[in-house]
Structure 1
Amino acid sequence: MKLPPPAMRDFIGRATMTLYFTVCAALKAATTVADISKAEWTTSWFIDIGASIASLGFMALVVATTVTRLPPVETARGLEPRISALIGCFAAVALTAVPHVNVVPQLELMANITTVFGFALCIWCLWWLGRSFSILAQARRLVTAGPYQIVRHPLYACEAIVLLGIILRNPRWPTVAVGLIVLAFQYRRVVNEERVLRTAFPEYQEYARRVPMLMPRPSSIGLPASDPR
């Protein structure tokens, strides 16, 4: 069976992602409006609403960057990078099927604060990544400024913070199990993206030498930013 040309595959992937995240954003907007209408005016309520708004903002930015993204200059070959990308990105949806357990208010508050913080960082990372964003392991343009001067894959690190918030809010073994699966496949996405970026951009080798992969070093924080866009 002959595959569609790369331009057509990119269009299909872009259209599918746009539709999926648009639907997710619409559903999140509806639930957020419903939650706001039940105004409880407590600290926990404000933080919970903040988490919903941050999540909605992140999904809206995903749609915007997907629609306007640049064509890829290099794409990971083979089936494994595609499977890892899809599972790593969408496996967390399974968390919605895990029955919720009641937790103490202090833990719920900590979970909500962690989620808000994580989503805020995700928006920051995605804003800098901009038109280079994609789900699959692809190289579009090398971004080394903003959060990308602290670690090479900050969006994945920040998504892990969001995942931690979700687990804290519903600390059950299925939630932890799904979280570990997501993290495992997210790491595979990082490895696959590293290979693609090293192939597409000769200067990536020097960038990787200076900047850590996922965990920031003190020396990598506070460097002057230069926007390559």
Structure 2
Amino acid sequence: MGESAMRREWLTGKLIPLALWSIPLASEILALAGKSAQMAREGLRQDLSMEFARHTLTLAFFLLVLAAYLSRMRVVAPAAGFKEKILPMMVFLAGPLGIFVLQRLGWPARFAAPRTAVALSVAGLALSLWALWHLRSSFSILAEARRVVSTGPYRLIRHPLYLGEAGTMLGLCLLLGTYTALAFWAAVNLFQLVRARIEEEKLAREFPDYRAYRQRTRFILPGLY
């Protein structure tokens, strides 16, 4: 690989995603610090506790993905073309940036389900942690092939990380309490399913044992789909 190609790969694969990721990450750190100070002054009111939980879960999720992204192993087959490079990056950034924008808009809530929302977010985050622990250095944002992971939750379904992300994001959208947030969640996860199928095509081409793995596991819901 030439020097210019390496610079271009570093720019598109490292610098730009990290720069964009730092925006909601920094915002959540500041928001969490502000809520902590407010709770210290005003005590543990329910509304403040829910806001604190929301910012804590969002920050934990962002840090989790960042740690996995920075510790990846060398790629076997790099991404190529729009559907393997641009589309996955757009879907990856859409979720956190969209939540960031919706939170800042501050639209009035149409419904309230704080306990359900927090439970979904915690469950989704726990599943994401479990999946990332087994994925670790094989984590990819683009449709890249590193190795086949079939341990932990990957013994049951092929995309536990996406299922965990969906649960966490649904909880955050429920905390916002708007139908716009729920519609946004549905749209992002529809494209997430497309992204998952693209990744499977890539892995099946590069690793013959992935085909057998795909036959004995479910796509994203244990025992169902």
Range into which the TM-score falls when normalised by the shorter chain = 0.7 to 0.9
1:130 to 132, 136, 152: 136
Question: Measured at CA, do residues 103 and 177 of structure 1 come closer, stay the same or move farther in structure 2, by a change above 3 Å?
Answer: closer
Q: Which residue number corresponds to residue 80 of structure 1? A: 83
1:139 match: secondary structure? coil
Among 182, 204, 210, which residue is 2:210 paired with?
204
- Residues 7-26 of structure 1: matches in 2 within 5 Å? 7-12=6-11, 13-26=13-26
**Aligned residues: CA RMSD:** 2.6
| 1:128/1:23 CA distance change after superposition, 3 Å | farther
Higher helix share: 2
- Report how far residue 32 of structure 1 moved: 0.8
Structure 1 distance, partners of 2:185, 2:223, is 25
Cα distance in structure 1, aligned partners of 2:93 and 2:158: 22
String of CA shifts for 1:113-170, please: whole Å, max 9, x gaps: 2223222322222232111112111111221111211211111111111222133233
Q: Distance in 1 between matches of 2:211 and 2:82?
A: 25
Q: TM-score, normalised by structure 1?
A: 0.80
In 2, Cα distance between the equivalents of 1:42 and 1:100? 21
Q: State how many pairs are aligned.
A: 215
Structure 2 counterpart of 1:223:
none
Alignment of 1:1-229 (within 5 A): 4-5=4-5, 7-12=6-11, 13-39=13-39, 40-42=43-45, 45-46=48-49, 48-92=51-95, 93-95=97-99, 96-97=101-102, 99-103=106-110, 107-217=113-223
Comparing 118-127 and 188-197, the one that deviates more? 118-127
Deviation at 1:217, TM superposition (A): 2.0
Rounded to whole Å, the distance in 2 between the matches of 1:65 and 1:206 is: 26
1:224 maps to which residue?
none
Letter in 1 for 2:33: V
Instruction: From the superposition, tell whether residues 59 and 176 of structure 1 become closer, same or farther in structure 2 (CA, over 3 Å).
Output: closer
Please list the CA deviations of residues 36-68 of structure 1 after superposition, one character each: whole Å capped at 9, or x if unmatched: 122232566545434433332232232222222
Unmatched 5+ residue regions in structure 1? 219-229
Whole-Å Cα distance in 2 between the matches of residues 8 and 204 of structure 1?
32
Tell me, yes or no, if the aligned pair for 2:157 and 2:220 is still in contact at 8 Å: yes
Q: Is the 8 A contact 2:73 2:146 kept in 1?
A: yes
TM-score of the superposition, structure 2-length normalised? 0.82
8 Å contact kept, 1:73–1:138: yes
What secondary structure sits across from 2:208 in the alignment?
A: coil
Indicate if the aligned counterparts of 2:204 and 2:211 stay in contact, CA closer than 8 A.
yes
**Partner Cα distance (1:113, 1:103) in 2:** 20
Instruction: Give SS of 1:137's match.
Output: coil
175-184 vs 142-151, greater mean Cα deviation: 175-184
- Contact 2:35 2:51 (C-alpha < 8 Å) held by counterparts: no
